[in-house]
Structure 1
């Protein structure tokens, strides 16, 4: 699927650096020496830039800053709450009513629960192959009535999330949705759902920002993993717009 192909290919800085090296080699083979050496010099510089916390966090802030994050009770009411899978789900067995709101809001399903608990919508639609049923079980343990939960468990990509959920929502007469996903994923997800004709109220979950320790200008290998996920969203959004999915 598209999301997987993007994630496994050009979204990682290491792969991007190898591609630049291959392009540089082609230029050298065709005796375009100055151009080839210039492209070859860009590859290590790009890796250093992607490993720099300041650069990675700047990219992350642009994505996450497009939609305001606020407490669940401050959102307007909608026809339904849509929660997208795609994150690691803890097997939460304790009551969320006994925990602080910030702790619950750190996950997509947790923030969806907070929205439902705040009476922002009468139903929750959980979307994602493999994740939807697990999230439903988590909500059921927290006292959410099964009649208020709907499942869409066939989607493997954000586009399929939007397409399949929109079909279910239209059958239910729902047009306005509170969309819950991670902040960095929200620009692509919201655009995909709006493309399906839904009125989307972005309600990003509130995970703590990942910050690499040490000097913000000191390159760190661990930051490359964070940058890869951020670039995945930038590339994914560009591809979705190119294909007319967002």
Structure 2
């Protein structure tokens, strides 16, 4: 097990809360009452804090602001576009064949299709393995969608074996080197971009980030929308904390 795989489950606020609660039990048995009480309180407050939409927005913003949105016209030319799997959406969303459709505004696949149609890069690499043995790979799912958006089969390269961001980078880099490509436009979620870009650069590629699908949610001044705990906010916080755990693991594994 890699360090990233070890840290990722602990990054989930609820999981860490359970770990703190488990540590409180032996502390209480050892009669370290203040320590046990502190651990138990932290076990309660940690997931509660990250279930607040305001807290989820804050930690999400610390990641997404590292790579602000970039207009298609401002992107540099590259040898290839690389899209990382995740959240492709319903197949029917792409049936109209329009990558600029409003419902696809935050789709990373549609963003990649728009960039390809501009002629900024001739090759579109779709990276992501299957999550289950009986399911199609993420790359194959994206390929089905992007074909509907007018990208021809001849432009597609599928990387279907990766199970992590590090593998996305290493396997994609290998496929690109075989084609003499080094400069890539990397498309993934804005939250995931800091870790993804770092992994692709570590794999020896020159990366121009193309962030998509921002997860910051506006509370529009509504107190309840910002400070009432929700499961959605807890999940968003967990994803952001997982990204920080991955970044920490990258530093420690150097």
TM-score by length of 1: 0.89
1:102-147 deviation line (CA, Å, top 9, x unaligned): x434111111111111211111111011111121122222221211
Describe how 1:7-156 pairs up with structure 2 within 5 A. 9-91=9-91, 92-96=94-98, 99-100=101-102, 103-129=103-129, 130-156=137-163
- What is the CA-CA distance between 1:229 and the residue it aligns to? 1.6
Q: Say which is worse superposed, 124-133 or 200-209, in terms of deviation.
A: 200-209
The answer to whether the 8 A contact 1:69-1:206 is kept is no
Distance change (3 Å), C-alpha of 1:32 and 1:226: same
Distance change (3 Å), C-alpha of 1:104 and 1:185: same
**5+ long unaligned stretches in structure 1:** none
- What is the CA-CA distance between 1:6 and the residue it aligns to? 5.3
Aligned to 1:191: 198
Structure 1 residue matching 2:87: 3-state secondary structure: coil
The answer to whether the 8 A contact 2:53-2:226 is kept is yes
Q: Say which is worse superposed, 205-214 or 146-155, in terms of deviation.
A: 205-214
The match for 2:188 among 181, 192, 197 is 181
The answer to whether the 8 A contact 1:63-1:187 is kept is yes
Aligned length, in residue pairs? 241
- What is the CA-CA distance between 1:211 and the residue it aligns to? 5.1
CA RMSD of aligned residues (A): 2.1
Structure 2 residue matching 1:143: 3-state secondary structure: coil
Distance 2:215 2:236 in 1: 14
The answer to whether the 8 A contact 1:185-1:233 is kept is yes
Distance 1:206 1:42 in 2: 32
Aligned to 1:166: 173
1:63-107 deviation line (CA, Å, top 9, x unaligned): 11100212222211111100010224320211215625xx43411
**5+ long unaligned stretches in structure 2:** 130-136
- What is the CA-CA distance between 1:32 and the residue it aligns to? 2.0
Distance 1:159 1:199 in 2: 16
Distance 1:215 1:98 in 2: 30
